[in-house]
Amino acid sequence: MRGAEFRVGLTHDFLTPDGTFVFGDIGLQILDDVPAICREFLPPFTDEIPPTVADQYDALLVLSPRVTESTVADCRRLKLIARFGVGYDNVDTAACTRHGVMLTITPDGVRRPVAASAMAFLLALSHRLLTKDRLTREGRWDEKLHHMGVGLTGRTLGIIGLGNIGREIVTLARPFGLNFLAFDPFVSSEFAQECGVQLADLDDLMRQSDFVCVACALTDETRYLLDDRTLQLMKSTAFLINVSRGPVVDQAALTRLLLEERIAGAALDVFETEPIATSDPLLSLDNVILSPHAVCWTDELFLGNGRAACRSIVKVAAGEIPEHVVNRDVLQEPRLMQKLSGGIDAGQ
């Protein structure tokens, strides 16, 4: 061992009240196989991780609690926030950079499960699956002719965000004979062409698509990207799918369009406020499929996320730079380099 014991803290929300793992196997054996790594669960927090706790660890494996300026400001030991998933709106990224703390995410773990869930939504919408389920359960068999589905061949799928998940959606959707448009200002037309996708500006994508799938990260630039004006550009026969983050879409504007049947329907895994209020009008609509920010929750997702996060932790324990660092500027911070200089022998 080149340095002292490498301590890893896991946020308490990985556990159920009886102490079992919420998600089953999340690959923690990767950490357990390195003798110098010691892992334990943090006390339960209702909001943010306090600095007095954070500074006791070299790395934190984080699910829901917030990581704030206060969390990391005085941490002389903490090197890594390993976020379990790809969203990191609960982490103050700039503060992590200022104080020499890397933030990693797990795109390899979420890629296929989230893309598969987007396709599950698309297929359920196109086949009117929710409506047909209700007809059957309620004994309304004779009404089935009034709920014709929509074939996919030759239809257009518009994807907002041609990143890790957006590209995987294209891979899964291609055998259905769909055409693809994408809006992503950070992607070149050459790259999109390699993916078999045509780039479009947002307005054109909204006008031309039969299915619009939101797959971008939530940032200051994407908050309310789909506002009332933009949503009204959609075809009356089109469907909206959101597997990203709720605030990318103006939920009130979308609700109005759905109530007035100005678009055909929607499938939403995410909402502006979570959990969604039991009085929210979306819950009463029969042209909407809803999921509690869990549509992609499978054993594949959680094992993939956990293994990716644990591999990042092992890399940092060895004094190395892991993959998928969000705040790349932190790699120029002398404070981080000093923290990494005492890495353990992690057998890498």
Q: Determine the Cα–Cα distance for residues 174 and 122; give it in Å rounded to an integer.
A: 13
Q: How far apart are the first and last CA of the chain?
A: 13
Q: Determine the Cα–Cα distance for residues 288 and 286; give it in Å rounded to an integer.
A: 6
**Active-site residue among 39, 245, 307, 311?**
245
Number of neighbours of residue 278 by Cβ within 10 angstroms = 6
Say if CB 305 and CB 164 are below 8 A apart. Answer: no
For the question of residue 245 being annotated catalytic, the response is: yes
For the question of residue 274 being annotated catalytic, the response is: yes
**Active-site residue among 127, 293, 300, 335?**
293
Output the CA–CA distances (angstroms, integers) from residue 194 to 71, 168, 317, in the order listed: 42, 13, 37
Output the CA–CA distances (angstroms, integers) from residue 169 to 165, 193, 209, 247, in the order listed: 6, 15, 15, 21
Instruction: List, in sequence order, the alpha helices (H) in 27-148.
Output: 29-32, 51-54, 69-72, 93-98, 107-126, 129-137
Which two structure tokens, joined as six digits, stand for 271?
């909402």
Give me the active site residues, please: 245, 274, 293
